[in-house]
Structures are given as C-alpha cells and as structure tokens.
Structure 1
C-alpha cells in the first residue's frame, strides 16, 4: 500500500515536471489536447466554409498547436478559440474616404475571401473548459446565434461582433454567469425582443451591443443598470431616442460610456452626474440641443469628451474649467458661439481639441499658449478673424493645425513656420496674403499634408528646390503658382492627392506628372491654361476641366471613378474610351466630357458602367440615337446631352433609370412625342429639359405625376393641344420650400448639378445653391392652344412661367397674383383677351413681364413692381391704356374708366357685323320682289295701283 502510494506520488511529480516542460515549450508544441476535444474541433471545422484555408493547420494529433487554439498550461484543455478575421471590415469605415477605389475594392475582396462562414456545430459543447470564444469579423450569412452557446458555462470572453449572424438573440446567453466580456456589435440582422437575460451576467465588465436595434427592448436601461461590475458600455447606433426613468442604478464603476449615433430627443438624466469614475464619454451624432448639460460638470475624472455633431447652441459654460483632466475634447459640428472662453485655459492636459464647424468668432486669445500639450488643434469652419496670432509658437508639440474656412487675414506669422512637429497644416479658405518662399518650409521636415488653398498667397520657389518634407496631400488651389508647372513636385514620392486648380498655370504639363512613384489617387488641375495630351492611365479622381488639353480620349481604366475633362479641346469619338475592353468591370460614377470637340455616335456599351450616377456630354458634336444601353445605368441621377445633334426618339430603356433627377436633352434633333413613361417611371425627376428639339403632339398628362419636378423646359418644339390642367399636381412647384438637387459629392468629388433656363431671350446657367431655389416652366415657341388653365395659379412656388409664342386664347387667370414668387412672366405673342387682372400687382418679385402682342384691353394695373416695366411689356395690345403707355384712359363722372376708344371700337365692330349679316338678305329679298313684278301680271298691276294711290293721297294732303 505504501509502495503503491510512493509510486503514485512519483508519477504525479513526473507529470507535474512534464507539464512545466510543456509550459516552457514554444506555442504549446509539447502540450496535447484530449482526443475528445480534437474530434470536437474537427467536427466543428467540417461545418464551416473556409475559402482562404485559414484552418489548414488543423491536422495532426496535437490541437494545441492549431491556428487560433489556446490550451491550459497545466491540463492541456482547450481554453481559447480565436477565429477572428484578421482582415477586418473596419477598413470600410476608417479608410473609405482616403484610399483609392482600387485599394478599397481589393480590401473588400480580401475580407470576403478570408471570412469564415457556414454553421456553428454543437460539438463545441465538448470544449468544457473553454474560456474565450472569438468569431468576430466573419460572415455567417444570417445564421442564428446558436442557443447552445449558453451552455459553455466556463466562458469569460465572447465576441461575435460583425460576424453576419441573424435571427433572434438567444436568451440562453444569460446562463454565461462567468462572462466578463461580451461584444455583439454590428449584428444589425439580429432581432432583440428582450434584454432580461443580461441581468444574470453579474460579472460582466465590458458590454458592446452597438449597431443593434433596441426598438423592442424598451427596458434596456433598467436591465443594464443592474450590472454591478460594468466598466465599459457601448450602445452606439442602436436607435435609442429617450432615457427611460430610472429609480436606481449601479453605474458608479462605469469608466467608458458610448451612446453615439442615436437620436435622443430628451435631456441627459440626473444620474449622469454620479458617474464619478467615468473616463470616456461619447454622445456624438445625436440630437441633443440647448446648452451643454450641467450634469457633466461633476465628471471631473473625464479624459475624453466627445459631443461631435449635435445641436448644442450656447456659449461654453464656465464650469468647464472643472474638467481639467481632459486629454481629448471634441465639440465640433454644433452651434456653439461667442469667443473661445477663458475657462478652457485651465484644460492644460489637452492633447486634442476640436472646435470646428461652430459659430465661434473674435480673434484667438493669448492664453492659447498655455495649451502647450496640444498635439491636434482644429478651429476650422468658424468666424475667427484677425491675424493668425504669434501665441501659436508655444504649441511646439502640435502635429495637426487646422485654421481653414475662417476670416483670418494678413500674412502668415513666422512662428507658424517654426512648428517643426507639424504633420498637417490646413489654413485654406481665409483672407491671407503674401509671398511664401523656400525658407518658410525649412523647419517643417515632418509635414505630410499642406493646404494653403483659396487665399491670396503666392508660392515663389526655384525650379531646383528640393523640400525636406514628403507630402501625401497638397492643396494649393487658387494660389499664385504659375505660369510654369511647379517643378519641385517631382521630388514628392509619396504624393496621393494634388490640387493645383485655378493656380495661374499656363505651361505644358510635364510627363512626370503622370508617372509619380506612388500613383496619385486624386488630381485636380482644373481652371488653368495647361496644355498637353492625356495619358493612357488617369488617377482615380481626375479633374482637368477648363484647360487646353487636346488629343484623343484615353481608354477608360477600372480604377477611375470620377473624371472631369470638361471645357477642353479633346477630340475623336467615345468608342475606344468606353468600349475597350468590354469584359472589364468599371467603377466610374461621375463623367463630365462637356464642351469638347467629340464627334460620332454615343457608343452602345454603357451596360458595363452600372455605377454611373452622372453623365454630362453637353456641347459636343455627337449625333445618332441615344443608345438603348443607357437604360442599364440604374443608378443614374443626372444625364446631360444638350447642344449636340442627337436624333430619333427617346429609347424606352431610359425608363429603367428611375433615380434620374436631371435629364437635359435640349438643343438636339430628337423627335416623336414626349413619352408617357417619363411621368410613370421617372418619379424622382427634378429637372426635365427638352428645349429646341422636334417633339410633337400633346403634352402627356402623365407628367403631372412628377411631384419632385422643379423645372420643365419644353420650349421651341412642335407641341400642340392644351396645357394639362393637372399641372397643379406638380407639388415641387406649388410649395415655397427648397427642393435640393443631388450634389454629386462622394468621397472628395466636386460634381455639382447645373441647368440652363431661358430669360430675356438668353439661356442662363444655374448651379450650386441657386439651382435649389429655381422653379421654372417654359413651354414657349410651340403650337399650344386653348386657355391658360386656372389651376396653374396654384403653383405658388413657381418663379419662371414662360408661355409665349403659342396660340393660347381666353383671359389671363384671375388668380395670377397668388403666384407671389414669380420673377419672370412671359405670355407674349398669343391670342389672349380681356383685362390684365389687378391681382398681378401682388407679384412683388416680378422682375420681367411680357404681355405684348395679344388682344388685351382696359387699364394696366398699378402697384408693386408694375411701374418699373416699360412700354415694350405691353406692345401690340391696342386696347390697353394707362402707364407706361402714352395712351391715357378716359374716365366717366364717377371716376371710372370709360374705355371710350375701346367701346367705340366695339360698337363699330358690332355695326359692321350687323351690316355684313343684313346686306345679303336685303339684296336677295329685293331681287325676288323685282322678279315677281316682272313675271306675275297681277302683282305688277297691284303694285302700280298702290303707288298711284299713295301719290294721290300725298298730293291731296299738301
């Protein structure tokens, strides 16, 4: 017995020594898991899809050496299963705005290829000692989170975030009583119906349920408040809109609270003031308004406070000085106003301060020098003015300085150029002036991003200058650089974004611009006089508009997603550009080739450019039909082909482009009738331009369905019939609110919609903000007939109403004065009758009026703008009188206008019509009577007897 005990003791000691040996081995090479756990893992693997073979190491007997596995150092039991996808899709959120489209798509493909999928096999239940399970950033394509996970009682760490799970959130997770860490974020397909199970997780320290919708879990706050150990709570983008009442809470241990991206429409509750251990608070992207809540003033332990993008609209309160442990403060995108308060000078630990996009004014205070720990300072998009202060020289640690879009003036201070740690210097869009030379940049050796744009600055450096920095982003737009192209740019081997637009450059473009060692992803050389031909390959975003580029279009490559070559001398046809090769996938979403010398037909290969949102081919020499493949562009919002020689009827395939907001087809040779499908399918149209074509027939009543339509231009066609009465349904013209056109701004794109409208015989271009305010209907120069519908006066938001040169009859609608926003009214050269309604005097915005060459009568109304118009507005209406005409109106004894001439004219017309009608009857009757006297003897004898008798009677009387 004793001998057996000794043997057992020796074996135990040997086993312990062996375990120690295994522990010291590398990657558990000498640690063996049990056969039971190995088989369970292999069964689990069989249920997964693994396109990149991430689990290829799962072979052999020792599962402790397999990829993603961790074993206990003493027992060999599997305690960790980490299958997180290392190529996480956060690239989409963090880098989408800064990388090229090609890089982005490559990363998306890599993420997809490395994602595990399939099903979670219950064999995992054999891992009875599993403490950590991480399946995050994979794609299980809507598969439900398995209920059996709630039986892994040893779990302390569970991360299922962004793994593509769906179905209902299993309440069995509440059985994981040892759980310390739970992340379910970005599971937006998972349905939450109740959160009571959370109250059982008494050891939970970290809870992240961001991007899950809590609409059915109204008790979310009451449940979470029962978690006594909670240190970190993240509930961003959960659709929360109010704080439920809370009688008791246990949040005093909380250190991190993230409620960003919700839509709270209530003030912060009082219990916020008791979060005495809170280190980080994020309330960004909500709807909080008014002053900053006083509930925050007790949070003196805070190191990070983020109130970005709310509706706070006060000055910064004095109690802010108590938050003197802050390292990061973001108050950007609010409506804070006034000067920067002196209380911020107490926040001397600040490393990051963002006050951008508010309404701060005044000059920068001297006490700014006390914030000498700042690494990042963003004051952009405010109303600061005066010179840039010298106090910035004390902020020697600064890496990022953004003073853009303010009213700073004067020259750049020398102290600015001594901030040797600067990585980003952004001072664009101010009123700065002066000349910048090579010496200014001598100390900025770490500079990576430089923005001096939209100032009155001139860069004067030698062609041999070699800067000590290597830039990634450079914006010198609207600075004086020319006439030569800056040669020093050739030294910038890391340049990714370059903007030299409107920089007075009139040089030939150097070939090395197209061959930067690091391919440019953004290039803007627009609004210069740069000459040269286009390269074979263009950057992802290319803006070369308004220059002197010539030659043929290059072949479109798959990396390009924004291309502006407008207002150049590019020639040739578009076939090689668009159609070679046909099997390539294109990313192009905005294309502007307007105002060039392109010829030939529009090629029929648009089916390969399904991402296109904007196409502008205006003012070229294109001919032939609009190709049917244009209908493949289902994302198309803006389509321009004005002023070409396009012919034929509109292809019915265009009705597939249901997102169209602008369709500008004017000044071509298009024929046929206006298709009814425009009003049936293109319900998002805001601008429809059909001007100067050969359209005929009636205006289809289906156009009345276009409730978003702001501008309708069908002038100079062969349209006939009546103006549809249902035009009163065009509600975007009937309201006074502004309807925004799409601005084609994606990533860093600058595409903006523009249209041409007729005014005083001219075509005026409207773009940017003014376009959003324009409402216009131009049906002039057609063959329209009938009356002007009374219903048209319900379009109270209309600013342009142009109906001249038609065959319209009847009177001007009596309620024309209800259209108080009218700026241009042209009813000339029709056949309108009656008086000019007195109500027209209420059109106080009227700047242009033309009623000439109709049959209007009576006195011209007075009042408002009407006295500013000349006689030309009323010519050709002979029966009109009053100012500004020389012909005065006659008045009767009661002071009323007699309209004598008009009445005499009317009486003369009536008499003339009477005589015209009576004379033929008289002649016929007389002829018949004379014929009877000739051919009927009795009548002739009776007539002469009657005459003789009458003669005798008359003689007897006298």
Structure 2
C-alpha cells in the first residue's frame, strides 16, 4: 500500500488537521523537537518532528518516556498541517521506526499502515504480546524486540515475513517459538536468548538461511534433530540450558564454525561427522567424563578453540595431537592426573589451562610456568624419533606489546587464521591493516569483535564495508580513508561506541545517512570525496561531534544553519566550490565562520 493511498488507512487513526503552533507549544523542544523522557502518554507531536519524519522516512522516538505509541505516526499525511512552505513532493514512506527505551505496553494493530517499514526497534519497553497485524509488513527486514516482557508466543503471521533477515527477541519471557508450521524463511540472525523456551522444535528447520542462532539462557531440555537441516548455520549458542544430550545429527552441520554448549548437563562428548569447519567448541561446566578418540578425529583439520573446563574428564585421548589447528585449550577443573605427551607437538597451541586437576606426573613448577613450559616438558618426554621439528616451530608474531595486531604494509589480501586466533587469545585492542590489498575481511575477524576498539583499514581496495565490521560493538575508532567506498551500510548503526570515523579519500557523493545516527561520534572526516551538501539539522543532533572535516568536496553552498551546530569546535571547509564564506574568512578559524553563518540565517 502506498503511503499516499489514504482510502486504505484505518479510519480510527485518521487525524484531523490541527494548528501547528498549538502543537509545538505542548512540548519543551530540544534538538529533536522535544526533550528526552518528557513525552509521556502519546499526545500531539510537534509539526517539525512529523515533517522531518515524512521527508527522511525515519521516525526516531527513542527514550521519550512514551507509554503508548503516538497515533500520528500511522497517518502522517493527515497529521501534517500543510502551508505554502510545505514541500509535500519531498515526502517519502516511513522505513525506520525507533521506539526503543520507553514504557510502551502495547503495539497497536495500526502498525500495519506502515507498509514500507523495513526496520522496527522497540527494545527496552513493556510489551507483553505482539499484534498479528505485524505480519502484514512484507518489507520488514530487521526487528528488535529485546528487553520487553513478551510472555505470549509470537503471532503466527510472523512466519510470512519473507523479507525478515534479523530478529532480536532476547530478554523476554517467550515460552516457545513455534509459529504453527511456518517460519520467516530468510532469517539469517535470530536471538532468543534469556527467555523461557523449553524445546527447539522441528519448525526451526524451516529457516534454511539461518546463520547465527542464539538460544542461550533458556530452559531447553530437547533439540529436534531437524535443526541439522539448517545447513547454513555457522554460530549456534545453546549455553546455559538443561540439555543432557544433543542429537547426533547436529554433528553434520556443514558450515558450523562455533558451537557453545557451556553450562548444560551433557554426559558425553558430542560426535561430529560432516562438520568439517568447526573452529570453536565450548563445553565448559557439564558432566562429561570422557572424550572418545573417534569423536576427536573429525575435528582434526579445523578446531582452534576447545573449552571443556569444569567437567569430570579423567584422561585426554591419545590422538589429541591430531588437532593441529588448536590454539586454545581449557581442561581446568577436571579429574586429569596427566596429559598426553604428544600434546606438546601442537605448534599453534598458545593458550593452555590445566589448573584445578590432580596432576601427579607434571611438576608444579612446570605447571606454574605457563603453556610454553608445559608443552616443552611434554615434548621432552617423547622419544626423539617421534618429534617432528616442524611441529615445534613458532609462528612469526605480529602482535605488539601494546596489544595491537599490526599486519600493515604487506600487500596482503587476507590475514592467516592462526594469527587471528592468536589475536583473539591475547584479546588485542587494535588492528592495523593499512596499506594492503584487502577488498573484504574473512568471518574469522568476528573472533575479535569483543576486544577491538581501534580498527585501521586505510589504503586498501574496499568498495563496500566488510559485513563483519558492524559486529565490533565496542569499536571506538574506525579509519577507512583512501579506499573506494561509495556508501556506508545501515548496519553501522550498531557501532554505538564509535568516537572517531575517517572516511576521507573515497568516492562518497553524499554523507551516508547512517553517519547521522552515530550519536557518539566526536571526530568525523569526510575530506576528499564528492559530497555536494550536508544536513545541518542532522548534524546538530550529533551533540558530541566537535570536529568535522569536509575539505576538498563538491559543496557549492554552505547552509547558514550549519552555524547552529554549536558543539563544533573545528570545522574544515577549504577546497570546495562555494563562494561564501570566502577563503580569507575560512582562514580566520571556526569560531569566526560559525558566527558568520549564523548571521546569514533569515529570521
């Protein structure tokens, strides 16, 4: 349904026109039109807010103290008072609605009026259920329902959302996720952690494109074998549940990279058959007593991280040295009295934890000496004819003392997995890949997403931002200068901690809209691109931004309203084709230029 097709709108939510001035007087405005936490129960929204939403397609009402959804948002055409200054031809469909961090108890059925809606964020509210009309939004591709009080199953109509690729419903009270034999078929990321699920039923198999499934912190006691039909699954988190066994069919997931079964009630080590890519296997805090050799063998070519701490394991299998890619092993707090000597041949093993075991055959001073001392001790116990010197070599190190992975100036197109594993084990805080030939980053970089705060991808061959970057939730500094980027994806909105962003020397023709949503930014460099204009209203809303570099672009006119961005301490505009401010005026500094711009505003 087109946004302008009013005949199809719910008549109960068609609002009569109202006086714009009276509407504005009801609020104490801030840069967004009203103050955080002051809107309360839905009332008339200021006209400036409505017009802004109608022209940008984005409704942002986060943290406004709302207890219900403002009805105006469902019928913007009727809610906006038009006058001779209204540029109705610039109006567009609403594609993003952000109602997060309020006190909303119910999502009205009229949400179905927003037929063009792509992103719905209503996390941190008081919802207990969802209307079935939500299933009518066939363009919806991202939904965040986390941190509500949803205690009823999601409506069956959710299964018809064919555009949905990401659903976050963690921290609710969902008793199940069965959608009556129909599931959204294109979901790639699904987070149902911290709910009350008791079973993973066969319907999950209907989500053939599922790659990331988080079911941790539930009450799951049973997993349907059909889950193995999700053949694209890469990350499966079943930690902190009540599983006493997992179906053997799960061991045939061909793309599985990470399996987390920590804190369950497993008594046997899982068996893998067709899973040839598994890198991380987490089995801490279970009741596992043994690790059969036949269960270890299929993991020999891929497994890099194995955690089996706090179990009841009495011995490690003799073929443990076949895990040649293993970089991190935690067998602490078991019943081990010794370690197999051939464990010392694992050349990539950098992190080894064995404390909390009744070790009798390895001296305490060796154990206290760390992984290197233990591995050397084990190698020295081997007969000489069993020692392959190649297996004992040490990889070249690229990690500095300041916890920076420096792989710059190498002409490289990728970083070897063993180096990434070493970086993950050492929890590096920075990654420098400057001056290489990267055009993408491998999925292995996601291992670093929790620790890295600085990322330098400058002077490479990126034409689009690598998909792994928006997962670096703690990232504070991102350098992308001197690449071939033409835009930045909306997923960058997840980088809520980003303070510094440098996208100079690319091929941007406009300021990527997602940049205006990065409210933590303090320094933004967009120099040496092809940008023709900026949005001063959106920039003003970036209240922490103090440095903005727009030098050497195609800006023909500097909007006077830019002078209202009083948070800016440094504004660089030299090298653009505008006539005012003049070059001489620009040289007088930011304070002078900002005042000059403010004086041009027609009141």
Q: TM-score, normalised on structure 1?
A: 0.31
- Structure possessing the higher relative contact order (Cα contacts under 8 Å, 6 or more residues apart): 2
Bigger-Rg structure (1/2): 1
Q: TM-score, normalised on structure 2?
A: 0.46
